[in-house]
Amino acid sequence: MKVSVVGSGYVGLVTGMGFVKLGNEVIFVDVDERKVKMINNAEPPIYEKGLEELMKEFRGKYRATKDYHEAVLNSDVTFIAVGTPSREDGSIDLKYVESAAKAIGEALKEKDSYHVIVVKSTVLPGTTEEVVKPLIEDHSGKKAFRDFGLAMNPEFLREGVALRDFLNPDRVVIGVQDERTKQVLEKLYKPIKAPKLITDIKTAEMIKYASNAFLATKISFANEIGNICKKLGIDSWKVFEGVGLDHRISPHFFRTGIGWGGSCFPKDVKALIKKAEEIGEEPLILKAVLEVNERQPLRLIELLKKHVPELEGKTVGVLGLAFKPGTDDVRETRAYPIIKKLLEEGARVIAYDPRAMENFRRFYPDVGEKITYANSSSEVLDATDVILIVTEWKEFEELDYSGKIVVDGRRVKAAEKTAKIYEGVCW
């Protein structure tokens, strides 16, 4: 099938390349000239395991453009995978989805054959039918479900293992209204071996929010119990190993630590809270989930102060800046509030991350410009005896922490074994 993907970021590029691997031809659309050029040179603009190899292997089966007409006229189905960030007040900002819908509508005006448009971006229930559909109709002069198809197909991939997740998902959710669109999506996803759940459009939108909200809740819950465990001298990882053996609960996604970051949990939980309030509901659990998560990273500093009461003038080494290992993404990384606090307390910070240093400096110039970046993790260890572990990159397991004071937010076993003084945040 011929597929176009609007928005070539983490989700757009990975799902598009996934469709290429499954035998389709893909045209990527992005407003960012740099990304378009890089994709056309088979260079991934983001770091994601296996992506570069796939782009090199399938050169010629995909291309990128800034031109919506080129993409829509030369494909049968268009996915919208642009960002849906939070506004200042936490509500969802649909400006990228809206401009994509308008531009697709304009391009569709010139197309006679049936075209399917699929919203893959995470959007609140009602958005596809109440925002995207009228914009496409107005700008194309065509009627949804008669002249063009419309669907919502949420994405559940995780960064760092994104390609693997896309190709081997736990499930595929397809929110549709008309039979023709359903058939197109069933055909496209046929090679993927996973349960396929067909729903109406707004149910598909809600499945995505409920999934992310539940996962965020699971971690905040674990961290709350973990904080209690810490005070009681109990290892919360052992506790959740025991809890997870109950098949109704599952052992996955129960790692206590300094909380969840990333581009999605924070913004999706906030957007759902805002939506609930707008319709007269008070989402008590979701608010607590957020609050626990906001406090969690600063526990690392409290624990550090037990051993280094005065941070003024001290050099603190920070291992890890990405919001999780395996990615260069720093959106909502727990490293930001931690480093900000260290600087406020007058500490000097030397940091290292195998992938995310450039992004950290660029995304958070207020603190990113004030810290020193090391060339390797051992350079951090050479520079200071006080170490905070923020992201559990595998290579941090290879280090010798002898003689160091280590406060660990993610549980790096080598540090636990070798450090002079070791504090785990919830163990």
Ligand X SMILES: O=C(O)[C@H]1O[C@H](OP(=O)(O)OP(=O)(O)OC[C@H]2O[C@@H](n3ccc(=O)[nH]c3=O)[C@H](O)[C@@H]2O)[C@H](O)[C@@H](O)[C@@H]1O
Ligand Y SMILES: NC(=O)C1=CN([C@@H]2O[C@H](COP(=O)(O)OP(=O)(O)OC[C@H]3O[C@@H](n4cnc5c(N)ncnc54)[C@H](O)[C@@H]3O)[C@@H](O)[C@H]2O)C=CC1
Contact by Cβ (8 Å): 107, 124 = no
35 assigned to a ligand binding site: yes
219 binds, among ligand Y, ligand X, none (CB under 5 to 8 A by kind): ligand X
- Give the per-residue contact string, 237-276, with ligand X (x = CB under 6 A; - = no): ----------------xxx-x-xxxxxxx-----------
Is residue 29 within the footprint of ligand Y (CB under 6 A)? yes
* 127-135, 152-160, 289-297, 359-367 -> range binding ligand Y (CB under 6 A): 152-160
Q: How far is the CB of 226 from ligand Y (least distance, A)?
A: 25
Is residue 261 within the footprint of ligand Y (CB under 6 A)? no
215 binds, among ligand X, ligand Y, none (CB under 5 to 8 A by kind): ligand X
Q: Which residues in 30-100 belong to E strands, given as ranges?
A: 62-65, 77-80
How many alpha carbons lie under 13 Å from residue 297 in its C-beta half-sphere?
24
Burial class (CB in 10 A: 0-12, 13-18, 19+), 174: buried
Is residue 48 within the footprint of ligand X (CB under 6 A)? no
Residue list 67-126, contact with ligand X (CB under 6 A)? 122
Element of type H or E holding 3: strand 2-6
Respond yes or no: is residue 229 known to be catalytic: no
3 state DSSP class of 14: helix
- What is the DSSP track for 376-412? SHHHHHHH-SEEEE-S--GGGGG---TT-EEEESS--
- Give the per-residue contact string, 138-167, with ligand X (x = CB under 6 A; - = no): -----------------xxxxx--------
Q: How far is the CB of 342 from ligand X (least distance, A)?
A: 19
- Kindly tell me which of 114 and 156 has the beta carbon lying closer to ligand Y: 156
404 assigned to a ligand binding site: no
Q: Which token pair is 283?
A: 């989402």
- Give the per-residue contact string, 1-20, with ligand Y (x = CB under 6 A; - = no): -----xxxxxxx--------
Contact by Cβ (8 Å): 72, 111 = yes
- Kindly tell me which of 265 and 401 has the beta carbon lying closer to ligand X: 265
65 binds, among ligand Y, ligand X, none (CB under 5 to 8 A by kind): none
Catalytic entry in 39, 264, 338, 426: 264
C-alpha distances in angstroms, 97 versus 127, 133, 388? 10, 11, 39
* 95-103, 173-181, 225-233, 314-322 -> range binding ligand Y (CB under 6 A): 95-103
- Kindly tell me which of 73 and 243 has the beta carbon lying closer to ligand X: 243
**Cα radius of gyration (the chain):** 23
Among 83, 259, 409, 424, binds ligand Y (CB under 6 A): 83
C-alpha distances in angstroms, 48 versus 14, 118, 363? 8, 24, 19
How many residues in the chain? 427
- What is the DSSP track for 243-268? HHTSTTT-STT---SS---SSSHHHH
- Kindly tell me which of 51 and 215 has the beta carbon lying closer to ligand X: 215
Element of type H or E holding 349: strand 348-352
- Give the per-residue contact string, 317-346, with ligand X (x = CB under 6 A; - = no): ------xx----------------------
Torsion sign over Cα 211, 216, 218, 219: positive
Among 124, 264, 342, 390, binds ligand Y (CB under 6 A): 264
410: nearest Cα among 333, 331, 305, 316:
333
**Binding stretches for ligand X (CB under 6 A):** 122, 155-159, 212, 215, 219, 253-255, 257, 259-265, 323-324
Question: Which residues sit in the known binding site for substrate?
Answer: 156-159, 208, 253-257, 261, 324
Q: Which residues are catalytic?
A: 264
